[in-house]
Structure 1
Amino acid sequence: MTTPLWPAPVASAPVDAVVALPGSKSVTNRALVLAALAEGPGYVRRPLRSRDTLLMTAGLRALGVTVEDTPEGDWYVVPAPLTGPAQVDVGNAGTVMRFLPPLATLASGDVRFAGDPRSTERPLDAVILALRELGADIDDGGAGRLPMTVRGAGGLRGGIVEIDASASSQFVSALLLSGPRFAEGVEVRHVGTSVPSMPHIEMTVQMLRAAGVAVDDSEPDVWRIAPSALAARDMVVEPDLSNAAPFLAAALVAGGTVTVRDWPHATTQPGDQLRDLFTRMGGACEFTPDGLRFTGTGTVHGITVDLHDVGELTPLVAAVAALADSPSSLTGIAHLRLHETDRLAALAKEINGLGGDATDTADGLEIRPRALHGGVFHSYDDHRIATAGAVLGLVVPGVEVEDIATTGKTLPDFPGMWSDLLAPAQAG
């Protein structure tokens, strides 16, 4: 079957738009897990509704948790004893494939996990080994990957465990989120090279504390949680700041102004670092009563930066760098080879396919700007690669993005939002 191509719109004038982003995927899926483990019912308000979060709600429902839709678009979550047998489809969602197995150890009965073909290639062995060390019975056929079955015994001993989380911060967050419900709590000790995307672990810790859990993270690479109850409460989901990347990038490469509504003044989201990154690349931003206002001139500067903590921003930074007036060096992101696709190889190949000059290195990308031309920009079923192609298409006529629908993973109506972004410019 032929994958549809989306002709990326070209900006005929500077952009001038206000964007209301849907909720954060990272916050939404953490909030759902915490609500499912709470002492009583609660709401997850203003959640993201996308493939990844719908997979999470379906997984929780399969385990016996009630997740009801409200007329306001929120989710009302009613905890219940977790039960099997159950089947959980993780799709290709890292948060689902890593956050739900620890929770499944608390269920009574077998819980089978499977997903998209790519999910079987993504690392899960650190979580599997850690859960076994903490007392879980898991049948993965010795592969350390999906598919697998968690043989839930109604609880988990817990205790101290060493884990190599150098491939993904989600390995740590997965154990911390369910840790308060383990009989002995959990002490997670990271061994190995540095943990990528540390802001995501900080997000997990902050949300646990807000639920009344005492988290001791005073020692580097060690997180301690005593067994405790989680408070039932309402959790309001922030806008997904990482999803602001293509819209801010539009102002940067095409010139003009984009205002993102409700940008928080303080947050643990990695996407907040876009303010610094894109300012260094030639833009300017300020907080206004309407939100964060970002302005660009259409002139982009190259950047040398370690993106280890904010790897998810790499595809959009790389796209902007391909349009810069000087070279860029993006480092610290070897772990991106294990994401939805090998993002480093994919970005280099697709930028070069449009006439660019990009090289993927052991831990990053070297990008030397060249005049680009139109062509097909393959998405690899990766939402962030697809939005990178859309940004390039703003100023490079003839770019066609393969399977733009894959953006539905975190931005359910990206094509519509992109058209709205350009509408004032096209009208002008």
Structure 2
Amino acid sequence: MTVISIPGSKSVTARALFLAAAANGSSTLLRPLSSDDSEGFAAGLTGLGYEVVREPDRWYLTGRPCGPAAGEADIYCRDGATTARFLPALAAAGHGSYRFDASAQMRRRPLAPLTEALRTLGVDLRHEDAEGHHPLRIEAAGIKGGELTLDAGESSQYLTALLMLGPLTREGLRITVTDLVSAPYIEITLAMMRSFGVEVTRGGPGNTVFTVPPGGYRATTYAIEPDASTASYFFAAAALTGSEVTVPGLGQGALQGDLRFVDVLRRMGAEVHTTADATTVRSTGGLTGITVNMRDISDTMPTLAGIAPFASGPVRIEDVGNTRVKECDRLEACARNLRRMGITVATGPDWIEITPGTPRPTEVETHGDHRIVMSFAVTALRTPGITYDDPGCVRKTFPGFHEAFAGFAEILDRRGPATRP
């Protein structure tokens, strides 16, 4: 058995940074993710005037329930979607003039449902270039609160940003959601808000109405669990190579919905064992074909695409249209790279079907997307010679990924290669 230590969750770290910045008092974040995304978020908070002290395994934040200390700021959000979507909402609750911009990649990604919702709440917000995209400017004067309707079918981050904003408004928020993708991420948000002292209630048809009370957050010490999306590459590797991998820190009480990727592997023939504080995947290396809806765990769609050619039958992944507006069009990027490897692939607006085959080595077109690199690193375990046009883009969430995965591959080599069924 191989035990793998996974860095802290990107999603949990970003939410914890927002909540700690908004809380009354000083918070300590234990084992936060240290990567380009999380460091960019922390740098954005510093630019807004929040006090952030970073040590190797813990970060300290002094919260400001009244909003940013800086009366004006120009914040660069890098490639981080959570930074680019959460920080404008946080700044809008304060008083001052704030400009936000991002990388060319992030500029292409949509913001409109969130920024339209902020305008509905009375926020003076202007997009400087393309409507619904960065860069944008906010003239903040606090937010009264009230009711709004939100379409979160493109990204659950729109709803998360507004939920976390709610306690900073004078009267709270009542949000009616008409569509929602990646719903488990909202469960992360609600659980973390609860840890910082805020209870959100849900009601209405299908529990689609979220009522967020005013009153602010209380500071706390919060431990960041390992990143379940990152763990998916190691779980997939175990399933593919006939190995056994255990990831501590992701057990039965884990917040992240992406841990459900192991259920997909179980359906394909792997054995999965989850305890209170760890998850283990073991396999003989044989994988069956599958048709699976991955709407709620779409960040792991590329992981499944990376191992799909080695299954005994076609792998069809459905309801993942939102992956087309991630760091890149992930659905198309997976399809194009697999075809370059000689694999037959069919796609539609929100689905991809991958036919079994023997991938040949090629240079993967990453589009600067960390998940494309890490997913095809799993493929490379059975297809030596795969390279990447931008291997360094993994710094977004896991700067040490290549070293960690190479070490894992060496362990597999010592144990002998799995035979394909």
Indicate the TM-score class for this superposition, using the shorter chain for normalisation. Answer: over 0.9
Q: Give the TM-score, by structure 1 length.
A: 0.92
Aligned-pair identity (%): 34
Q: Secondary structure at the match of 1:381?
A: coil
- What's the counterpart of residue 241 of structure 2? 254
Q: Give the TM-score, by structure 2 length.
A: 0.94
Rounded Cα–Cα distance in structure 1 between residues aligned with 2:197 and 2:386:
50
CA contact (8 A) 2:318 2:351 kept: yes
- What's the counterpart of residue 140 of structure 2? 152
The Cα RMSD (Å) is: 1.5
CA contact (8 A) 1:89 1:115 kept: yes
What one-letter code is carried by the residue in structure 1 that aligns with 2:297? V
- What's the counterpart of residue 61 of structure 1? 46
Rounded Cα–Cα distance in structure 1 between residues aligned with 2:156 and 2:11:
12
Matched, 1:319 2:343: no
Matched, 1:272 2:259: yes
- Measured against aligned partners, the alpha-carbon deviations of 1:342-367 in whole angstroms (never above 9, x if no partner) come to 01111100011000011221111111
Rounded Cα–Cα distance in structure 1 between residues aligned with 2:216 and 2:324:
37
Rounded Cα–Cα distance in structure 2 between residues aligned with 1:287 and 1:185:
38
Alignment of 1:402-417 (within 5 A): 402-417=389-404
- What's the counterpart of residue 74 of structure 1? 58
Moved more, 389-398 or 341-350: 389-398
What one-letter code is carried by the residue in structure 2 that aligns with 1:295? R
- What's the counterpart of residue 418 of structure 2? none
Rounded Cα–Cα distance in structure 1 between residues aligned with 2:117 and 2:391:
37
- What's the counterpart of residue 18 of structure 2? 33
CA contact (8 A) 2:85 2:157 kept: yes
Rounded Cα–Cα distance in structure 2 between residues aligned with 1:186 and 1:277:
36
Rounded Cα–Cα distance in structure 2 between residues aligned with 1:231 and 1:50:
26
What one-letter code is carried by the residue in structure 2 that aligns with 1:79? G
Q: Secondary structure at the match of 2:230?
A: helix
Pairwise CA distance, 1:427: 3.9
Rounded Cα–Cα distance in structure 1 between residues aligned with 2:209 and 2:92:
22
Moved more, 125-134 or 214-223: 214-223
- Measured against aligned partners, the alpha-carbon deviations of 1:263-321 in whole angstroms (never above 9, x if no partner) come to 22122302210221111112112146983221121211111011011110100011111
Alignment of 1:123-162 (within 5 A): 123-141=110-128, 143-153=131-141, 155-162=142-149
CA contact (8 A) 1:63 1:107 kept: no
What one-letter code is carried by the residue in structure 1 that aligns with 2:347? D
Gaps of 5+ in 2: 416-421
- What's the counterpart of residue 80 of structure 2? 93
Gaps of 5+ in 1: 1-15
CA contact (8 A) 1:390 1:401 kept: no
Rounded Cα–Cα distance in structure 1 between residues aligned with 2:413 and 2:320:
37
- Measured against aligned partners, the alpha-carbon deviations of 1:180-218 in whole angstroms (never above 9, x if no partner) come to 011121111122xx3110000111111112222121113
Q: Secondary structure at the match of 1:164?
A: strand
What one-letter code is carried by the residue in structure 2 that aligns with 1:76? Y
Indicate the structure whose relative CO is greater, using CA pairs within 8 Å and at least 6 residues apart.
1
- What's the counterpart of residue 164 of structure 1? 151
What one-letter code is carried by the residue in structure 2 that aligns with 1:207? M
Distance 1:161-1:301 versus aligned 2 partners, 3 A rule: same
What one-letter code is carried by the residue in structure 2 that aligns with 1:77? L
Rounded Cα–Cα distance in structure 2 between residues aligned with 1:203 and 1:288:
20
What one-letter code is carried by the residue in structure 2 that aligns with 1:139? R
CA contact (8 A) 1:303 1:321 kept: no
Rounded Cα–Cα distance in structure 2 between residues aligned with 1:103 and 1:336:
26
CA contact (8 A) 1:253 1:300 kept: yes
User: Number of residue pairs matched?
Assistant: 409
CA contact (8 A) 1:47 1:75 kept: yes
Alignment of 1:222-261 (within 5 A): 222-261=209-248
Distance 1:172-1:352 versus aligned 2 partners, 3 A rule: same
What one-letter code is carried by the residue in structure 2 that aligns with 1:22? P
What one-letter code is carried by the residue in structure 1 that aligns with 2:213? A
Matched, 1:218 2:203: yes
Rounded Cα–Cα distance in structure 1 between residues aligned with 2:274 and 2:345:
34
